[in-house]
Chain A
Amino acid sequence: MTLPELTTPIRLYWDLTPLPSAPPDHGKICAEIIDLKILSLDLTATGSTVPEACFSILEQCRTARLAVTLTLSPEALSEEVGQRLAAAPPKELLIQVTGPDRFPPHRSLPPGVDGISFPVTGDTWRRIPDLFRFAADSGCRRLVLPMQRLYAGEEAFYLSRRELEALTAELAPIPRDPDMRVTVHDPFLWRGIFPHTPFPEGRCQAANTMLAIDPKGVVYPCPTMPVPLGDLASGTLRDIARGEAKKELRKKLLRLPAACVGCVDAGSCTGGCRGRGEQLGGSWEGIDPACR
């Protein structure tokens, strides 16, 4: 069967940090997430400490049919945090590192940590092979290259074809555990890392299978698409998920960008990262510059 357009998403990306001075009602948001039967919650709190809200959300989700992936900074992983996480453990615990100098010492993951989240930027992409070497050495079987937080003002990043080819060549000799799970959201970066495997997500899933919530409670189609769909301070997640703003945006995303019409690759990339294309090109009709 074909991949459907969903009434409510199945994945939610929720950034808790930086905590605003007047944070949203985390308990209410979490209850709505459970009520909407979201399947997968990516909770990120990468400050130097773990906010209390994080523990209360995990506790709230403990008996729900919801797979929570929690990403923390290595600095936040104290013994006390480990004990508190053991009481309401996420399905998956990742630490966010930004370069080999910040990889865990002794080439091994801290106890209880399932894998590494590695934000790829113009400063860090050359270290992707180091990440895979670390995984090979340490037996780490879970790597996530998270979506850029363009809604938080990050500068959109992409690799040129030449850079992707260089990355592919450098990665090729590095052994990979066949059971290692790697999440890459950027379809072009995926090609650089898995040149022989089709991108599993197909077309852009913003505002369809996924939504994102920023630390203030503003809802976006995707962390890489800085188009606010609503605010949980004044509305509900259900209303936003089923609202006209989301539907209208999704209609735009389902249309191939005008610049891609006739392209032989359009069937597989379906316009690439639409958030990046819009951010850098200023239009939904432009090409994702990573395609060039």
Chain B
Amino acid sequence: MKRIVRNPDILWREEDDAAAEAAALLEQGGEAGEIGTAILFADGTMVTLNLLGTEIWKRCDGLTEEELVTALLEEFDVEADVLRHDVANFLQELAEKRYISYV
């Protein structure tokens, strides 16, 4: 199975304050999907990722898609099939934007 790697030309960082806010909301049983916890920046275009997107993005460093899902399942309390579906969709979006590639 092919491994996922980030495009090295994509500049990115986690937003610590926002990540803490999202984590606190989740802790309280709230919804944090709209909080941007990471920024991706390339050619003047900035994209923000929510908490799940950020966690997926951070793991795009040589894992296969299945390994990535397994790693996330260890951290998130979510149904495997739902997560697998979300991860696949998100990776497809990243690949279309050339933010990641498969090697």
B interface residues, tally (CB under 8 Å): 18
Interface core residue of B11, B34, B44, B48 (most chain A CB under 10 Å):
B44
Contact B34 A67 (CB under 8 A): no
Complex Cα spacing A2 to B46, Å: 10
B67, chain A: closest CB distance, angstroms: 24
Within 8 A of A (CB), among B40-92: 41, 43-50
SS class of chain B's interface: helix, strand, loop or mixed? Answer: strand
Q: Which size bracket describes the interface of A in this complex?
A: 10 to 19
Chain A interfacial positions (CB closer than 8 Å to B): 1-4, 6-7, 10-11, 37, 39-40, 65, 67, 181, 183, 200-201, 209
Contact B45 A200 (CB under 8 A): yes
Contact A1 B34 (CB under 8 A): yes
Question: Which A residues are in CB contact (< 8 Å) with B44?
Answer: 183, 200-201
SS class of chain A's interface: helix, strand, loop or mixed? Answer: loop
Encoded as 1 (CB less than 8 Å from any A CB) or 0, chain B from 7 to 22 comes to 0000111010110000
Contact B11 A3 (CB under 8 A): no
Evaluate whether A6 and B39 lie within 8 angstroms (CB atoms) in the complex, with A1-B34, A39-B12 already known. yes
Closest B residue to A91 by beta carbon equals B9
B33, chain A: closest CB distance, angstroms: 9
Complex Cα spacing A1 to B47, Å: 8
B70, chain A: closest CB distance, angstroms: 26
Contact partner of B41 (CB less than 8 A), chosen from A1, A40, A181, is: A40
Contact A1 B12 (CB under 8 A): no
